[in-house]
A and B are shown apart, each in its own frame.
Chain A
């Protein structure tokens, strides 16, 4: 089986046009990241350098000296801004970013972030206590569901603390970047469309059917397709992370994910590094769902343009539906929800399943897993059937 998978994998990637497209998309992706990142925090180099230098200075384990430094610099900058008459020319002496107003904005940002994270433990302790009180209240009132939900809140947010401070702009920009997701889709569909259909186009279908290993071939093809999808995804994910890492410091990978502003109330307690992997895994799951759909259609037809066209059309519909149609049911079953998994994991949201509160994010993940299994089974079954000459 492993030999068959290896050969099928080679068949998929041995495509000069695809390799050229991958290269071009890689270059396009690089330019896009650079262009998008240039705006944050600024496209002025001196500003960027000063910005990151300050963050570097104040990053690390909580330190009163660093906190005082930030507060002092903030007050100093605010006083100058409030007084007015400051210069807006670049490269002002005595500034960090080169701009008085820039310094004020920077230290305000750091001050607010430090404040949020320094008091995070206290905030969560209060929230946990409130949830525990509500749980007791609802228990008393006989509302078991709400009691259970509040117990879940308490359990989720208990024992949370933040021991260090790091700038998170790089992570935030990376997590908001989704251009490469579209590029991966544009590569996956032409790559996987010929998975089964090309055997008809090359006249190999009959020949392969007459081999002892034919019944195992559809599964080998599917697994090779998944491997290829994973390979392309990892290639672009790696490019994204490396380029972002080059443009931003991105320190603090081991910080809890809830140190990111958008994830303050996230039910996840893993590290930022772990979340980056999970985020990638969610996207990969969606790619595999769409890939298995493409494979199933490829197994049903003889022309490779058909699975390409159909899957592309379905993907467009799913993307448009996700963007413009507000429907909880559609959101669960729409696999592209997982492209923007941050939305699923950034807040505490549960649904009641047989009276038990279950995190909402499990629903689209479970639905995608079920869709993946369904389309994969379909692809394998359709791939095993006889030559079409049989009636």
Chain B
């Protein structure tokens, strides 16, 4: 299975949301990283055929995306879903099963299994309106994989989940990613660190990088610095450099700085993390 995104551009009246983006996705989990306004949602909308590109094509296994057959193999979780407050979780999944064309016989055991996977079995008769944000996200994930999709697109799926739930979610995604394409748009870098096959970096509609987390981290070797600073120096560093972390201890600050240049003669190189990669490409001194 292969999803080919070729020379995609999207021009809105006042904005060029995407500018000649090309990526090819095979089986596995892909992260889509970028700040607000980078074009992540637009790219997702084009991949899901919600929106037509101004230029370029998106093909799945050689065929243009869109149409009923494509919808059958697609799973999607939008950002901040609210669903129907007056439906119970089970009812909602039955509704989505009907919308996805699953017959009753297939849907019933599948729904029971999914509720178990996302830890909502004991809440299945509860109204969605009474759900917490995390519970709604889990329900959203369940509906996204209801039809066992070949392409799974998740837009900020772990927003609102506590650490325990995020770990559970990452494990679920890892299990799923073996035989399908998963595209995960997120700001939470830790979601991708261990699980993502490759990370796609977008900024202002342009593709910056597409590489494995390890490659991206390796490329940042020599650009992550650890240095000690006092109160006065902290302000100076903050104004000039991207501070990845500032840990206070014994009246001083242990700073983690992302920069092409060595910030201070006493600075020592640090081991790059994916978060540093994000800050390197998208961060700014404050």
- Spell out A's residues near B (CB within 8 Å): 3-4, 7, 10-11, 14-16, 202-204, 206-215, 217, 386-387, 389-391
* Measured CA separation A209–B51 after assembly (Å): 11
| Contact A389 to B71, CB < 8 A, known contacts A14-B87, A203-B80, A217-B99 | no
CB distance from B19 to the nearest CB of A (A): 17
- Highest count of chain A CB atoms <10 Å: which of B87, B96, B99: B99
20 examples of A-B residue contacts, CB within 8 angstroms: A10-B87, A11-B84, A11-B86, A11-B87, A14-B86, A16-B86, A202-B82, A202-B84, A203-B78, A203-B80, A204-B81, A207-B76, A207-B81, A207-B143, A210-B48, A210-B76, A211-B96, A213-B101, A387-B50, A390-B52
Cβ contact of B50, chosen from A11, A210, A217, cutoff 8 A: A210
**Cβ–Cβ contact A389 & B99, under 8 A:** no
B126 at the interface (CB under 8 A from A): no
**Cβ–Cβ contact A3 & B98, under 8 A:** yes
**Cβ–Cβ contact B50 & A206, under 8 A:** yes
The interface on chain B, measured as residues whose beta carbon lies within 8 A of the other chain's beta carbons, has a size of 33
* Measured CA separation A387–B52 after assembly (Å): 10
* Measured CA separation A4–B87 after assembly (Å): 14
- Highest count of chain B CB atoms <10 Å: which of A7, A10, A15: A7
A202 partner residues in chain B, CB cutoff 8 A: 82-85
B206 at the interface (CB under 8 A from A): no
**Cβ–Cβ contact B98 & A389, under 8 A:** no
| Contact A212 to B68, CB < 8 A, known contacts A4-B99, A202-B84, A387-B50 | yes
| Contact A390 to B86, CB < 8 A, known contacts A210-B71, A212-B100, A213-B100 | no
Known: A206-B50, A210-B49. 16 other contacts (CB 8 A): A7-B91, A7-B94, A202-B85, A206-B45, A206-B76, A206-B78, A207-B81, A210-B48, A210-B71, A212-B69, A213-B100, A214-B71, A217-B99, A389-B50, A390-B50, A391-B12
**Cβ–Cβ contact B74 & A210, under 8 A:** yes
* Measured CA separation A387–B87 after assembly (Å): 24
CB distance from A81 to the nearest CB of B (A): 64
**Cβ–Cβ contact A208 & B99, under 8 A:** yes
CB distance from B125 to the nearest CB of A (A): 14
**Cβ–Cβ contact A7 & B95, under 8 A:** yes
B5-16 interface bits toward A, Cβ cutoff 8 Å, 1 = contact, 0 = none: 000000011000
CB distance from A259 to the nearest CB of B (A): 48
A210 partner residues in chain B, CB cutoff 8 A: 48-50, 71, 74, 76
Q: Which residue of the partner chain A has the closest CB to B49?
A: A210
CB distance from A36 to the nearest CB of B (A): 36
* Measured CA separation A391–B13 after assembly (Å): 9
| Contact A214 to B84, CB < 8 A, known contacts A389-B45, A389-B50, A389-B51 | no
* Measured CA separation A7–B272 after assembly (Å): 51
* Measured CA separation A10–B90 after assembly (Å): 14
**Cβ–Cβ contact B13 & A207, under 8 A:** no
B78 partner residues in chain A, CB cutoff 8 A: 203, 206-207
B59 at the interface (CB under 8 A from A): no
B100 partner residues in chain A, CB cutoff 8 A: 211-213
A206 partner residues in chain B, CB cutoff 8 A: 45, 48, 50, 76, 78
* Measured CA separation A389–B45 after assembly (Å): 9
CB distance from A237 to the nearest CB of B (A): 27
